[in-house]
Chains A and B, each alone.
Chain A
Amino acid sequence: MTERGKILLLHGGVLLALFAAQYLLPAYHANNLARIMVLAVYAMGYNIAFGYTGLLSLGHALFFAMGMYGAGMAVWLVEWTALPAIAMGLAAGAVAAGAVGLLALRTAGVSFMIVTLMFAQAGYLLILYFARYTGGDEGFVVEAFGRRPFGLDLVQDGPRYAAAFCLFAVALAGNLALVRSRFGRVMLAMRENEARSRMLGYNPFRVKLLALVISGLYAGAAGAFYAMLFGYVGASFAMVQYSILPLLYTLLGGAGVVLGPLLGAGLMFYLIDIASGLTSAYLMVVGAVLVVLVLFAPKGLLGALRERGLKWLP
């Protein structure tokens, strides 16, 4: 079979399985899976920046929160309906990534990590500071009238799963197309050897900025859908922990592999779900997984698989 055929078969199969899951799984797990798919889209966006372009950001919570607040506040403050609110969330995520990128991409490596962390922290504090418009610490509930795209009531389990699936399917297709495109190849070139890329005629700043904006668009989309599907917008989603989560998912599943974030998000979600049933110290699990990954599996699960034979994995 051709490489292209294998890729289509694998990713099509994953989508088919996810589609079938809503009819096969009990409601509790189906709801979990809907959440996992939205978080996976967030992590896919993170993977575009980190896994493919080599930009290790610690500030993606800002882009996720911008998507979430962009969509949520459009409903809460100006009573927009779901579709324009979601569009607002997407735009907010991308614009925030562009603005942060314009400044942060003047630095690299550790400085880039700290700068993105600081911008995200400032964003979180701004949400607290402007509590009158954002709901501050307590956040706010997205009312039902703003959660009915195309007449689908996202408060119900069925439509909620369908919406999460649609988002995930589009994001996955987009991600595959991106990394197999010419621009995807240039992103990899930036990660592998920036100096050489420049001497092949590419402007590293522009390439990285565009990759970061696409990444922010994904994070914004995930944030907007999160608000729509689960009906709550809160400052905790803008905290550092929410910048660490997509990094964790991506590292676990495999950085620079399209399906890595989904696998990482799914495993981590259930790991925490099970651990929090046993102990309140679920953050301990997160910490331990981070340390173990960095020590023993820096390429992640699918990354290791790709090194051991599945070289075609995009």
Chain B
Amino acid sequence: MSLSVYIYLATILFTIGALVVLLRRNTIIVFMGVELMLNACNLALITFSRMHGNLDGQVYTLFVMVVAAAEVVVGLAIIMSIYRARRSASVDDANLLKL
């Protein structure tokens, strides 16, 4: 069995993450979908690191985690303030991104 199964798994997880972003309307869940996509990428990176025998993939994974942590902090703060202002956790309620 080749290591490529991990890559396939990562692809599936990434697709499901994208679906979560597309289909769920609870802001928090959408956010978790984004996290899932990041994690799927991390899995691919770890696998690549093992395939190529160097540590770049692992380093990148760590960096992605840090970026994700920063993103979570800001993102959740935004969700909080939107909820405070609108009493709603639905993505569709914050639809001011139009004319």
Q: Do A and B come from one complex?
A: no
